[in-house]
Chain A
Amino acid sequence: MFATAIIVFREVLEASIIIGILTAATRSIHGSKRWLAAGLVAGLVGSGLVAASTDVIGSLASGIGQEIFNTIVLGIAVLMLAWHNIWMASHGAALAANARLVGSAIRDGNSECSVLFVIVGLAVLREGSETVLFLYGIATSGEGGQSSMLLGGMVGMLLGIVVGYTIFAGLLRVPMRWFFSATGILVLLLAAGMASQAAHFLIQADLLPSLASPLWDTSALLPESGLTGILLHSLIGYDSRPAGMQIIFYLTALIVIFIGMKWAARSQPTTVRK
């Protein structure tokens, strides 16, 4: 039961953290919660579909279909998170000024909402499909002890959701003047971590060279299987034995999105007072 809880916890955690951070970051955008919820539902439906077609996806492109699928999902998620962060940077002042006004109409807020939908949908899709497969395997194995393992799965799922909610609740306590910097940095690190994971899948599929593998090894110091390692992996993309190529992807995403945010913040109109 314990092992089952850990596996499901790990899978649920990343999606849960993303939802927690984005829900907090966009709390003053009208209708954002509805779009986040719609993304969650679409992601869950998608998980079932992806899980059911694991065999087909896996056998595409001479057996590296799964890596390509994961890379595409991660790639789109990175682009959307980048878009979100740059959008927030260019509207941050306006959002902060209107934070107390319910339903503040912000121009092009609709496109931001569809971006939220896509990000949450993809996050749930990727992590959810593995959970579905795992739980399906347990349910059909016919080896006894299923109910205790499924209970473990429930516990793991609940714990994952609790962590996401804790991050959400914690962010809401951050004072307004630090709030957008805090959520911006968290989303930036999430995006960089996903870029590194995309590189990891491309290396696994032999589509990219690893460039020094591993670049360092901190698995004895901070193992990825421990609780801290799991949390850091989901939050900032921690990898105990990363390939050099992963670090290149990580830093490139980090720097490019950061520059985009700075550029957007500078070009935003300064007359946002009401």
Chain B
Amino acid sequence: MKRLSLIFLLLPFAAYAADADYTLIIKDHSFQPSELTIPSGKKIKLLVENQDATPEEFDSHDLNREKVIAGRGAATIYIGPLTPGRYAFTGEFHAATAQGSIVAK
């Protein structure tokens, strides 16, 4: 119960979060851009916008992130802080075409 009340306490703060730092677009089951360069050592807010009619799951073991994005929907994902390197991500529901990576510099 303590954990739940913590979440509700934090809800109002989440609403004040700044706008997204970076945007990824899913179109025709692929990511645009397919490579995103971000600064290392800094947490960023990523907006993933799904322009397809079908749902997609942003999935990355490298980044330890997974999130379902509804068809014609959008989702916010916080990433990092990362050490410099390349981090692959996929759209799990269409992994054949939906491939991309984040490069932390």
Contact partners of A225 in chain B: CB under 8 A: 61
Closest residue of B by beta carbon distance from A137 = B54
A213 B7 Cβ-Cβ under 8 A: no
| B-facing residues in A1-49 (Cβ within 8 Å) | 3, 7
A61 B15 Cβ-Cβ under 8 A: yes
Docked pose: A75 CA to B95 CA in angstroms: 30
Contact with B along A37-78 (1 / 0, CB 8 A): 000000000000000001100110111101110011001000
Docked pose: A48 CA to B75 CA in angstroms: 20
Query: How many A-B pairs fall under 8 Å by CB?
Result: 100
Query: Interface size (B, Cβ < 8 Å)?
Result: 40
Closest residue of B by beta carbon distance from A200 = B64
Dominant SS among interface residues on chain B:
mixed
Given contact pairs A55-B70, A71-B7, A140-B53, A7 touches B93 in the complex (Cβ within 8 A) = yes
A202 in contact (CB, < 8 A): yes
A: contact size bracket: 35 or more
Docked pose: A240 CA to B7 CA in angstroms: 26
Contact partners of B72 in chain A: CB under 8 A: 55
A207 B61 Cβ-Cβ under 8 A: no
Closest residue of A by beta carbon distance from B80 = A213
B14 A61 Cβ-Cβ under 8 A: yes
Contact partners of A72 in chain B: CB under 8 A: 4, 7
Which of the residues B54, B61, B68, B80 comes within 8 Å of A141, measured between beta carbons? B54
A7 B61 Cβ-Cβ under 8 A: no
B27 in contact (CB, < 8 A): no
Contact partners of B68 in chain A: CB under 8 A: 54, 58, 66, 130, 133
Smallest CB separation, A219 vs chain B (Å): 6
B3 A62 Cβ-Cβ under 8 A: no
Taking beta carbons and an 8 Å cutoff, which residues of A are in contact with B?
A: 3, 7, 54-55, 58-59, 61-64, 66-68, 71-72, 75, 79, 130, 133-134, 136-137, 140-141, 198, 200, 202-207, 213-214, 219, 223-225, 239-243
Closest residue of B by beta carbon distance from A133 = B55
B61 A64 Cβ-Cβ under 8 A: no
Closest residue of A by beta carbon distance from B67 = A66
Q: Which 6 A-B pairs have the closest CB atoms?
A: A63-B76, A137-B54, A55-B70, A206-B78, A54-B70, A133-B55
A241 B61 Cβ-Cβ under 8 A: yes
B69 in contact (CB, < 8 A): yes
Closest residue of B by beta carbon distance from A76 = B4
Docked pose: A200 CA to B3 CA in angstroms: 14
A219 B70 Cβ-Cβ under 8 A: no
A63 B61 Cβ-Cβ under 8 A: no
Docked pose: A100 CA to B40 CA in angstroms: 61
Docked pose: A137 CA to B52 CA in angstroms: 10
Docked pose: A137 CA to B61 CA in angstroms: 22
Contact with A along B58-94 (1 / 0, CB 8 A): 0001101111111111111110110000000000110
B105 in contact (CB, < 8 A): no
A206 B43 Cβ-Cβ under 8 A: yes
Docked pose: A104 CA to B17 CA in angstroms: 56
In addition to A55-B72, A61-B11, 14 A-B residue pairs with Cβ atoms within 8 Å of each other are A59-B74, A63-B75, A63-B76, A79-B1, A134-B57, A136-B55, A137-B71, A137-B93, A198-B3, A204-B66, A204-B67, A204-B77, A207-B7, A243-B64
B76 A62 Cβ-Cβ under 8 A: yes
Docked pose: A243 CA to B82 CA in angstroms: 12
Docked pose: A75 CA to B4 CA in angstroms: 8
Docked pose: A55 CA to B56 CA in angstroms: 12
Contact partners of B54 in chain A: CB under 8 A: 136-137, 140-141
